[in-house]
């Protein structure tokens, strides 16, 4: 039996404009903390930023509000690196877990847990998406937050799984580092929801991924979801280069395929650690035991610090060979890498103008029973 990942929540704030919304009242009852009304969020933002560690404070404070923009957004890729044309479902922001490398701690200003309760607007956007004539849509909630940290407080996952199950042109990917899967049991998902886990070595998890589930727990949860009929995906991203890391990553691949059937995996992504320069002092301050920012880095085409390309390619080639040996037919791809890396690792380059997206669409059609 898998156990839930612990969540520490100390304060609850509610946007006064949505205080009477049914989802607001429902979540407040489940959370069980006194709700403090907020007329103007600027004061809340200032309070978060006044902390000695705003990131730590922001992970313990939840602000219930509404999404004033669109829920569906294209993945913010860059033209210099191959993008998968993913669609982000922006249902919430930030995360209760604490990973040293997480871009969200410097992406959001201020860093603050926010959940958007205006589901009626989300529902309209999903209706429009499902009505499009586009062949396949790949949608995920794990870009701006972890997909399953919200399980103790909301029925969002139940709602989304049901909405996607009622159509045949789109898949929903729920990406997580938790094991909060109890609510998934018994849902009529029709294989239109993909459960996906970020994986890394135990050495990286121990130092860099606070309050996340262990590798063993994540694989246990994935195996349980497989028994419930869900298709799965895995993301080795960010891989970290350190002494003897190759042996550690090879063991993770072995553990993965000892538990999970290759034919049930929709895709596996690979990506090495990269970061904006502004993240370096934050990691050094918040994670003094971390050494990840002191590797051999150069400035990439997107102005992020990336491992020296020969080092990336060497690790990618080994990872790809181990995965191919275990599962020759599994769709394997890079998250935000250039043509040279693709050619030297995979032996091909996805065609421009959406070639990678079309490759992943085909995999979704084959594994998730979509209508092409």
Query: Quick one: pLDDT at residue 81?
Result: 73
Residue 210 CB burial class (10 angstroms; 0-12, 13-18, ≥19): middle
What gap in Å lies between CA 222 and CA 176, rounded to an integer?
11
What gap in Å lies between CA 358 and CA 290, rounded to an integer?
38
What gap in Å lies between CA 160 and CA 332, rounded to an integer?
26
Query: Quick one: pLDDT at residue 85?
Result: 83
Using 70 as the pLDDT threshold, list the residues of the chain that sit under it: 1-7, 77-80
Q: Which residue matches tokens 């246990």?
A: 220
What's the pTM? 0.95
Q: Which residue matches tokens 């959406």?
A: 354
Query: Quick one: pLDDT at residue 110?
Result: 87
The predicted-structure confidence for 113-164, as pLDDT tens digits, reads as follows 999 999 999 999 999 999 987 779 999 999 999 999 999 999 999 999 999 9
Query: Quick one: pLDDT at residue 1?
Result: 40
What gap in Å lies between CA 74 and CA 88, rounded to an integer?
6
The three-class DSSP label of residue 198 is strand
Query: Quick one: pLDDT at residue 353?
Result: 82
CB half-sphere exposure, 10, CA atoms < 13 A: 7
For 77-91+125-368, CATH gives 3.80.30.30
Q: Which residues contact 108 (CB under 8 A, 6 or more apart)?
A: 58, 93, 94
């Amino acid at each position: 039996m898998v156990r839930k990942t612990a969540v520490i929540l100390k304060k609850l704030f509610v946007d006064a404009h949505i205080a009477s919304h049914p989802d607001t009242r429902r979540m407040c009852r489940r959370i069980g903390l006194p709700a403090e009304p907020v007329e103007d969020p600027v004061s809340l933002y200032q309070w978060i930023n006044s902390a000695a560690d705003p990131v730590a404070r922001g992970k313990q404070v939840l602000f219930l509000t509404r999404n004033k923009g669109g829920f569906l957004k294209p993945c913010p890729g860059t033209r210099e690196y191959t993008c998968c044309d993913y669609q982000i479902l922006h249902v919430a922001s930030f995360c209760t877990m604490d990973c040293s490398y997480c871009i969200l701690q410097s992406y959001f200003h201020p860093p603050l847990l926010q959940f958007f309760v205006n589901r009626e607007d989300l529902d309209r956007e999903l209706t429009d998406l499902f009505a499009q004539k586009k062949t396949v849509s790949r949608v995920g909630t794990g870009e701006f937050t972890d997909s399953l940290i919200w399980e103790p407080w909301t029925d969002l996952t139940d709602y989304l799984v049901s909405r996607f199950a009622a159509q045949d042109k789109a898949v929903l990917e729920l990406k997580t580092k938790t094991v909060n899967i109890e609510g998934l049991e018994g849902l009529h998902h029709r294989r239109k929801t993909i459960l996906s886990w970020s994986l890394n070595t135990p050495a990286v998890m121990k130092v860099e991924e606070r309050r996340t589930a262990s590798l063993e727990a994540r694989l246990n949860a994935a195996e349980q979801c497989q028994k419930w009929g869900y298709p799965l995906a895995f993301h080795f991203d960010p891989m970290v280069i350190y002494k003897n890391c190759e042996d550690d990553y090879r063991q993770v691949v072995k553990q993965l395929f000892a538990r999970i059937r290759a034919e049930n995996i929709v895709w596996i992504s690979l990506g090495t650690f990269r970061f904006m320069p502004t993240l370096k002092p934050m990691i050094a301050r918040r994670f003094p035991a971390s050494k990840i920012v002191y590797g051999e880095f150069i400035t990439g085409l997107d102005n992020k610090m990336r491992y020296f390309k020969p080092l990336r390619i060497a690790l990618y080639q080994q990872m790809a060979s181990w995965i191919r040996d275990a599962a020759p037919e599994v769709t394997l791809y890079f998250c935000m890498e250039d043509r040279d890396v693709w050619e030297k690792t995979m032996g091909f380059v996805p065609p421009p103008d959406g070639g990678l997206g079309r490759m992943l669409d085909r995999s979704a059609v084959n594994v998730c029973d979509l209508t092409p």
